[in-house]
Amino acid sequence: MSQALVDAFEHLKRVYKPNVVDKQTVFYVSLGDAADQKWIMTLTPAECTATPGKTEAADVVLKMAENDFVRMVKGDWVPGALDFMRGKIKTNNVEGLKLLKDCFA
């Protein structure tokens, strides 16, 4: 597990905006070519937690390269529609991904 990835999740916890979500929402974040890194990120009205691991009970699944995730969190890259069409980012819930922007922007 890279330090940059750990730092990215710590950053997300620090900049989380409380009360954007009104109920618990679970994200399963799978990063890397072979899904090397698996994380569970839970958003509640009060806080954001992120722990390594896998879950079958996610509201939103996000799959992408680890370095792209780190760049996105740092604000160095903003994914667009072409990234989804080209498979650079995969999800089961595009609307759910918008929560990331709302909760951390």
Domain ranges of the chain: 3-100
What's the whole-number mean pLDDT along residues 57-78? 93
What's the whole-number mean pLDDT along residues 62-87? 92
With a cut of 80, say whether residue 33 has pLDDT above it: no
Sign of CA dihedral 15, 74, 65, 83: positive
Residue 35 confidence (pLDDT): 58
What's the whole-number mean pLDDT along residues 64-70? 94
Residue 64 confidence (pLDDT): 95
Q: Which CATH class is domain 3-100?
A: alpha beta
Which residue in 4, 14, 21 sits closest to 49, CA to CA? 14
Average pLDDT, the chain: 92
With a cut of 80, say whether residue 67 has pLDDT above it: yes
What's the whole-number mean pLDDT along residues 72-78? 91
Report the distance separating Cα 97 and Cα 89, nearest Å: 11
The pTM of the full predicted model, rounded to 2 decimals, is: 0.90
